[in-house]
Amino acid sequence: MLLVVDVGNTNTVLGIYRGKRLAHHWRLTSGNRTSDELGLALLNLLSAAGLTREDISGAVVSSVVPPMDLPLKEAIGLYLDKEALFVSSSLDLGMEIRYKAPHEVGADRLVNAVAGVEVYGAPLVIVDFGTAITLDVVSPDKAYLGGTISPGMALSMEALFGKTSKLPKVALEAPESVIGKTTMESIQAGIMYGTAGMIDSLVRRIWNETGQRTKVVATGGQAQSVAPYSETIDAVDPWLTLEGLRLIHERNRGKTAE
């Protein structure tokens, strides 16, 4: 079985693949932890799933938090006796990267592009709702072109509340009307409908620049919450990143990368 780990700035998502099937998955809060803390956490998760370290045949990691890379690598090595494959632009992704500086592309964005093409074909736009909201564009010939990076919903809310002492914190859910009748509804309308509108505007600009309408797939923590209010998102795939990790591991089995 394969351990897949997607380390984000806010959350770390882990999964266990049994062949091509995602058998188990967990979402943890990202944060500074020692290799021992991470190793014990991994063993506890495996135990909760009825698995042991001997059941794990390999590990692959996508990380956008460099301080976590070494502790996680050591944890997987010491506690699972496996050398983790870390995703980077130098790996065989089965995809040309037409970014001006390929090494600057976040590993999660590359992983999403690989999975998106495999599952949905090309051309394609992938929207990932994380700490930042990213849109990534794949060309008709399956090359990674680049995309956009915007503040995520939670980040926007934190900035709003941090600068406005009288505004209440609210749940990330859409009110019935875009015209909020209370302060809470007004904030929710601005965040939810505003995010959907931003995504639709960016997608349409991408379509105009590329000269073609593409399929749009959303993934990440708030994808299912925002997608119903978007006019351009066609599908929601919550485990797209984990699937991309599995595919990249298949292509690069036996290799390691920093």
Tell me the C-alpha to C-alpha distance, in Å, between residue 102 and each of 14, 89, 221, 250: 25, 6, 26, 21
Q: Report, as residue numbers or ranges, the catalytic residues.
A: 108
Alpha carbon of residue 23 to chain centroid = 19
| Amino acid present at 7 | V
Q: Which residues pair with 199 in a beta bridge?
A: none
Mind spelling out the 3-state secondary structure of 150-193? EECHHHHHHHHHHHCCCCCCCCCCCCCCCCCCCHHHHHHHHHHH
Interacting residues of 131 by C-beta distance below 8 A, sequence separation 6+ = 8, 9, 10, 152, 154, 155
d(CA 44, CA 141): 43
